Amino acid sequence: MKKVCVIGYPIKHSLSPEIHNYWLKENGIEGSYEKLEIHPDDFDERFKNLHSEGYVGCNITLPFKERAFELIAQMGGFDDSVESSAAIITGAVNTVSIINGKYIGKNTDYIGFLDNITTQHNADVINGKTIVLGAGGAARAIVMSLMIGHVPATTDNIPEIIITNRSKYKAEKIVDDLNKYKDTAFSDWNGTISVIDWRQIDKALEGANLLINTTSLGMAGQPPLDINLEHLPKDALVTDIVYRPLITPLLQAAQDRGNPIVDGLGMLLHQAAPGFEMWFADELNGRKVEVTKELRDKIEARL
């Protein structure tokens, strides 16, 4: 019986076991997916010994995504998949496969974001002007997803990504890092990426197609996101990667003024699928797992 886990500190809040155990049951697969809380001081040693404990893979969550990337880079553990390229470009690993003691690191956050948006809204929304709030690991993956998944642009609809963060240099670092891959991973990208000061957010919303909050502002227990949506077009999509609460103050404010919204729970669900399909490829025999309404309702009930 294959064992998989999600590693974090703390980890008790994680919904990943409910997602993966749903797919195990739905597909009649004998396997287990559990939570593994590891203190940061013990992470390196415990991570390197996962295979000896019988694990065939794991998910990595806060605060270990960057450290997992560093360890796997030392092991030479990346393949030629887009998901491994995403890990290298973002500098973060959230999904690991262990085969005969060899660790393969991937990042599926970009898939989670893109699939969540395109299954709930028109894919054209990622063309035009996008405002990204925040400059952490999630923001990197999301900007990458916008660059990889964009609909081929026309001269009338050139993709434009604007990143803003309270620490401006972190946003500038994302742009610098992504530009290094412009001729390889993003060779089809013909848009622009720029950075603005955090205080310019409200005015920058003019003409935007998409507003994305990747910060923790608005999350339960965190300060609110101070933003005025007055200049945002009424048809612009607003999404928040936070899913506790499911409808954040930002999403509520957008919905109240008539903007379409997409919550963050779908990103969590969709980013999980590639890992499951990788760990249990033999058992699935070519089948894909789906983010069904039943699964979403089950996870939403746990929030």
Residues 208 and 162: their CA atoms lie apart, in Å, by 10
Residues 269 and 126: their CA atoms lie apart, in Å, by 20
- Residue keyed to tokens 């608005």: 218
Catalytic annotation present for 65: yes
Active-site entry in 2, 12, 25, 65: 65
Backbone angles phi, psi at 36, to 5 degrees: -135, 105
Q: Where are the alpha helices (DSSP H) in the chain?
A: 16-26, 43-48, 65-75, 82-90, 109-120, 137-149, 168-179, 201-204, 249-256, 265-279, 281-284, 293-300
Q: Centre a 10 Å sphere on the Cβ of residue 300 and count the other Cβ atoms it contains.
A: 14
Residues 14 and 21: their CA atoms lie apart, in Å, by 13
Residues 178 and 181: their CA atoms lie apart, in Å, by 6
Residues 205 and 93: their CA atoms lie apart, in Å, by 32
Residues 212 and 250: their CA atoms lie apart, in Å, by 10
Cβ contact 33:64 at 8 Å? no
Residues 258 and 264: their CA atoms lie apart, in Å, by 19
Any idea which residues carry the catalytic annotation? 65
